[in-house]
Structure 1
Amino acid sequence: MEENFSTSITVPLHAAAALEKICQVPAWWGVTIEGPTEKLDDQFVIRMGQEAYFNCAITELIPGKRVVWSVGDCFMPWYEDKTEWSGTLMIFDLDESGSETEISFTHEGITPESECYKDCQPGWTHWIRNSLFSYLTTGKGDFKQR
């Protein structure tokens, strides 16, 4: 079995502040969000363009340590498997050391065998390593995906 997609960054912030900013999703990820994204059991919809959506819930939240977004129903019109993200988990683990925090992101259920991996791997790499990093360090996300 192949590994889930994961990547990490280290930022000069305490974990609690970093987690608070991660939950401000539109500031760093080029999507529209409907609903709250800050507390355990919050339910929200991620929208990409006119048709694509991902119904999510915060299913685990450990302040300053971890937040998990569980994807329920979804629709990705550009793939043969339009619901490939259903049942996947977007996991942010935070490890504070001194005045820095390492943020490890894993999209559990998205592996090299996944249809979307060819797009998700460079996409998530950009949104975490470039945009989230930029937002956490400068206050402005990087919406120009390379």
Structure 2
Amino acid sequence: MTASFTTTITVNASAQDAFDAINDVSGWWGRTTGSTTAVGGEFVYVVPGLHYSGFRVTELVPGRRVAWLVTGSHLDFVADKQEWNGTTVRFDILEGEGGTRVVFTHDGLTADDDCYDICTNAWGMFVNGSLKARIETGEGAPYVFGGDEELTAEDHDELHSQVAAAKGRVGGAA
């Protein structure tokens, strides 16, 4: 079996600061709708015309771990548009001498996946750059869009509906 994608950052911040920053998804990754701060909460992340993913928060252990199940996704740039469905994004936080380590793992994203190169490059950019900066300075570099890419509330409602429809294919309702 091929290993899932993992990358690790060490930050000059407390484990709780890292945990709080991870849960501020729009502060380091990009625009989301929904809840990221409670187990069972659901949110959607969107890059217009390229990618959307729905997530269910499955674990929140303050200062230690955050995990999200991908409940539905659409990747416009690969043949299997739902390649992320049923995968899990996890952040393990380990405070120690020399800083706090954040181990990011996308369980189920492997080198066998069509999106592996593009997705791991993007995760690396956001985790190693934007999230690290967000934890250490309070300012991340999330993906921002506007103009013709601007999504309306109706657009987000439709994406939530599409993710909800996909839930049956990845383990049922919350």
How high is the TM-score relative to the length of structure 2?
0.77
Asked if the contact 2:43/2:55 (under 8 Å) is kept, the reply is yes
Provide the residue aligned with 1:71 in structure 2.
Answer: 70
1:69-105 Cα shifts (integer Å, max 9, x gaps) = 1001111122110000000000000001157210000
Provide the residue aligned with 2:80 in structure 1.
Answer: 81
Provide the residue aligned with 2:24 in structure 1.
Answer: 24
Which letter maps to 2:75?
M
User: Which structure: greater helix fraction?
Assistant: 2
Following TM superposition, the consecutive aligned residue runs of length 4 or more in structure 1 with deviations greater than 3 angstroms are: none
Q: Does 45-54 or 99-108 show the bigger shift?
A: 45-54
Whole-Å separation in 1 of the counterparts to 2:51 and 2:3: 25
Whole-Å separation in 2 of the counterparts to 1:28 and 1:101: 18
How high is the TM-score relative to the length of structure 1?
0.91
Secondary structure of 2:105's aligned partner: strand
Whole-Å separation in 2 of the counterparts to 1:28 and 1:97: 23
Provide the residue aligned with 2:115 in structure 1.
Answer: 116
The CA deviation at 1:23 is 0.7
Unaligned 5+ segments in structure 2 are 144-174
Whole-Å separation in 1 of the counterparts to 2:103 and 2:84: 19
Asked if the contact 1:13/1:99 (under 8 Å) is kept, the reply is no
Whole-Å separation in 2 of the counterparts to 1:115 and 1:71: 17
Provide the residue aligned with 2:171 in structure 1.
Answer: none
Query: What does residue range 36-75 of structure 1 map to in structure 2 within 5 Å?
Result: 36-50=35-49, 52-75=51-74
* Count of paired positions: 143
The CA deviation at 1:4 is 0.4
Rate the CA distance shift 1:140–1:55 in 2: closer, same or farther, 3 A.
same
Asked if the contact 1:20/1:38 (under 8 Å) is kept, the reply is no
1:6-56 Cα shifts (integer Å, max 9, x gaps) = 001011111112101111111111x32001111111111111114632111
Whole-Å separation in 1 of the counterparts to 2:80 and 2:103: 27
Secondary structure of 1:19's aligned partner: helix
Q: Supply the RMSD in Å over aligned alpha carbons.
A: 1.6
Query: What does residue range 96-115 of structure 1 map to in structure 2 within 5 Å?
Result: 96-98=95-97, 100-115=99-114
